[in-house]
């Protein structure tokens, strides 16, 4: 029986582990946190159909509980050394493992919105990120906790830390557009009297049912989409926010007061992926995400033979794209193990 070590116990890691266990391999998942599931643990509902995250997590957990693979929680990989046809892996807690193949599934980190200083995140009381909002939308939390009364206006800013030369992130984070549409609808459902505005550069509705949801946001929920990025946000005496932008379709500057400003933060490769790149000696793109052997047929293959890549450590991805990418990683690993 061949042994595969998977670094990362998010959705990509779990899905890859399930598939490889089904294929008859011995699998160990190394997860730095105490809980499996990664970023999914902080999300409430998924686009485009508002599926509760709990439902996805339950299915994943049920599936993984039935599989016989090992999970090392609160464990980090310290080094990965190739010796002949094996990988010698040292993990925290003086744990040594030997693997026939390694899968990196370290995921992403959210862009730190404090870097866009002009929006005042962590300085102004009513500026939050899409991740903060998602957390507030969880059943056990209350979105009203950040608002005094029923808000008159709420604004979303798209592409915070994505497609932004100043932030050093030239790439598109892919999922923020539809996340913004989904969250705007969720807030409109809770505050039907509130005017909601989305400030965007382009709206990239690339996925199944995305465009339909965007249309519904406009037609059914009367959410206003304004093509233009915010130049700055400032706090007023009553803690509401004054925002400035350019409406690039009308060609006019715009100033507006809002009660809540939501920053749709993009994805970055993050420290976990950077650390895996170093310990496994795999190449990174300029963006920091891990480099795949090609963009078409080898999107799970790294520059190191026997080390494979799964999920959003390679590029920003939605939950469904991540699951598909993880399955293709498992196929790639299985084929390689059989051939070697």
* 8 Å CB contact between 269 and 313: yes
Residue closer to another protein by CB (options 96, 238) is: 238
User: Rg of the chain over CA atoms, in angstroms?
Assistant: 22
Print the binding letters for residues 278-317 with another protein: x by CB under 8 A, - otherwise: ----------------------------------------
Smallest gap from residue 127 Cβ to another protein (A)? 10
Tell me which of 55, 88, 123, 249 binds another protein, using CB under 8 A.
123
Q: How many other C-beta atoms lie within 10 A of the C-beta of residue 135?
A: 17
What is the Cα–Cα distance from 207 to 4, expressed in whole angstroms? 32
* 8 Å CB contact between 74 and 33: yes
Closest CA to 290 of 302, 272, 306: 302
Residue closer to another protein by CB (options 254, 324) is: 254
Residues 204-243 that bind another protein (CB under 8 A): 232, 234-237, 242
Q: ∠ CA(105), CA(210), CA(230), 5° rounding?
A: 85
Give the number of residues in contact with another protein, rule: CB under 8 A. 15
Residue closer to another protein by CB (options 195, 235) is: 235
Residue closer to another protein by CB (options 26, 124) is: 124
What is the Cα–Cα distance from 118 to 220, expressed in whole angstroms? 33
227, with CB counted inside 10 A (0-12, 13-18, 19+), is: middle
Contact window for another protein (CB under 8 A) among 6-14, 78-86, 122-130, 148-156: 122-130
Smallest gap from residue 161 Cβ to another protein (A)? 15
What is the Cα–Cα distance from 330 to 19, expressed in whole angstroms? 6
Report how far apart, in Å, the C-alpha atoms of 334 and of each of 17, 327, 337 are: 11, 11, 5
Contact window for another protein (CB under 8 A) among 121-129, 151-159, 278-286, 321-329: 121-129
Asked if 122 interacts with another protein (CB under 8 A), we say yes
Asked if 146 interacts with another protein (CB under 8 A), we say no
Residue closer to another protein by CB (options 13, 228) is: 228
Cis-peptide, bond into residue 259, ω within 30° of zero: no
Print the binding letters for residues 81-120 with another protein: x by CB under 8 A, - otherwise: ---------------------------------x--xx-x
Binding site for another protein (CB under 8 A): 114, 117-118, 120-125, 232, 234-237, 242
């Amino acid at each position: 029986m061949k042994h595969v070590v998977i670094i990362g116990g998010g959705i990509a890691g779990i899905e890859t582990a399930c598939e490889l266990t089904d294929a008859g391999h011995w699998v160990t998942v190394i997860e730095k946190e105490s809980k499996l599931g990664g970023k999914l643990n902080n999300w409430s509902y998924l686009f485009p159909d508002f599926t509760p995250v709990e439902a996805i997590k339950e299915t994943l957990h049920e599936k993984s509980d039935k599989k016989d693979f090992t999970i090392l929680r609160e464990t980090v990989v310290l080094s990965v050394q190739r010796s002949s046809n094996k990988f010698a892996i040292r993990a925290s807690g003086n744990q040594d493992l030997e693997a026939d193949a390694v899968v990196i599934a370290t995921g992403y980190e959210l862009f730190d919105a404090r870097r866009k200083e002009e929006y005042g995140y962590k300085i102004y009381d009513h500026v939050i990120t899409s991740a903060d909002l998602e957390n507030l939308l969880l059943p056990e939390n209350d979105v009203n906790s950040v608002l005094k009364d029923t808000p008159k206006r709420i604004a979303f800013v798209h592409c915070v830390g994505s497609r932004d030369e100043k932030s050093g992130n030239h790439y598109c984070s892919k999922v923020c557009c539809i996340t913004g549409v989904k969250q705007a609808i969720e807030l409109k459902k809770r505050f039907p009297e509130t005017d909601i505005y989305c400030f965007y550069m382009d709206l990239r509705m690339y996925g199944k049912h995305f465009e339909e949801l965007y249309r519904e946001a406009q037609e059914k929920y009367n959410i206003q989409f304004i093509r233009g990025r915010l130049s700055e946000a400032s706090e007023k005496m009553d803690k509401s926010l004054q925002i400035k932008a350019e409406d690039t379709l009308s060609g006019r500057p715009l100033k507006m007061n809002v009660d809540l400003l939501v920053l749709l933060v993009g994805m970055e490769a993050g420290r976990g992926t950077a650390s895996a790149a170093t310990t496994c000696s795999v190449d990174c793109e300029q963006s920091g995400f891990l480099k795949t052997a090609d963009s078409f047929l080898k999107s799970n293959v790294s520059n190191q033979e026997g080390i494979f890549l799964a999920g959003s450590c390679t590029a920003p991805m939605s939950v469904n794209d991540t699951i598909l990418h993880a399955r293709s990683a498992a196929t790639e690993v299985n084929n390689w193990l059989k051939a070697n």
